[in-house]
C-alpha cells in the first residue's frame, strides 16, 4: 500500500471514534495531491489491500470527496459505475456506505439498487435501507 494512503487510514483509525477528523483531512488532501483527481477512486481502491475493512475505506472516500476540486463528483460517478456493474462485492459495500446517496436521479438509484438487492444477498439489506432513506427524505 502506498505510504500516503496508509497514513490516511491510520489517521482515520485514530480519529474516527471522536469523529474529529483533522489529521484525516490533511492526509486525504495528501492523497489527492499525490495521485491527482483523474481516476482517483480506482487508484485508491487498487492500492488498499482487501484485508482493510470496507467501512474504513468508505470513510476515506468520504474524506477524499472534500479535498477534490469537484467536491467528490468524479469519485461519486466512479462509485455509481461500480454499482451499475455490480460485480465486486467489496466495491459495492464501499459504494453503499458513503455519506451521500448514489445517483443524482432518484429513479436510477431505485432501479440500480433494487436490482442489486434482488441479485446479491450480501448487499440486499443495505440497498433496501438506502432506498427507504431516500424516499423518507421526500424524494
Residue 20 lies in a domain: yes
Give residue 48's domain range: 3-91
Same domain, 30 and 66: yes
**pLDDT at position 80 over 80:** yes
Is 71 in the same domain as 111? no
Please name the residues in contact with 80: beta carbons below 8 A apart, sequence gap of 6 or more: 95, 102, 103, 112
Q: What span, in angstroms and rounded, lies between the C-alpha atoms of 114 and 99?
A: 19
pLDDT tens, residue by residue, 13-61:
999 888 788 999 999 999 999 999 999 999 999 999 999 999 999 999 9
Confidence class of residue 137 from pLDDT cuts 50, 70 and 90?
confident
If asked whether residues 9 and 73 sit together in one domain, one would say yes
Answer yes or no: do 122 and 66 share one domain: no
* Residue 118: all three cell numbers together: 434482488
Domain tally for the chain? 2
Q: Are residues 81 and 121 in the same domain?
A: no
Confidence at residue 61, expressed as pLDDT on a 0 to 100 scale: 97
Same domain, 21 and 54: yes
Q: Give yes or no: residues 86 and 116 share one domain.
A: no
Average pLDDT of the residues in 53-80: 96
| Residue 107 DSSP code | H
On whether residue 80 sits in a domain, the answer given is yes
Confidence tier at 103 by pLDDT (50, 70, 90): very high
- The verdict on residue 7 lying in a domain is yes
Asked whether residue 96 is domain-assigned, the answer is no
In a domain, 119, yes or no: yes
Looking at residues 103-127, what average pLDDT do you find?
Answer: 96
* Average pLDDT in the chain: 95
- Say how far apart CA 138 and CA 69 lie, in whole Å: 29
Amino acid at each position: 500500500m502506498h505510504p500516503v494512503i496508509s497514513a490516511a487510514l491510520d489517521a482515520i483509525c485514530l480519529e474516527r471514534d471522536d469523529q474529529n477528523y483533522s489529521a484525516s483531512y490533511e492526509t486525504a488532501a495528501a492523497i489527492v495531491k499525490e495521485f491527482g483527481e483523474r481516476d482517483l477512486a480506482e487508484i485508491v481502491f487498487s492500492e488498499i489491500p482487501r484485508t482493510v475493512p470496507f467501512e474504513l475505506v468508505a470513510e476515506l472516500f468520504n474524506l477524499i470527496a472534500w479535498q477534490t476540486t469537484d467536491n467528490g463528483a468524479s469519485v461519486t460517478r466512479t462509485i455509481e459505475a461500480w454499482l451499475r456493474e455490480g460485480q465486486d462485492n467489496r466495491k459495492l459495500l464501499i459504494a453503499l456506505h458513503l455519506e451521500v446517496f448514489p445517483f443524482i436521479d432518484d429513479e436510477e438509484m431505485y432501479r440500480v439498487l433494487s436490482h442489486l438487492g434482488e441479485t446479491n444477498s450480501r448487499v440486499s439489506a443495505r440497498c433496501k435501507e438506502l432506498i427507504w432513506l431516500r424516499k423518507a427524505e421526500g424524494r
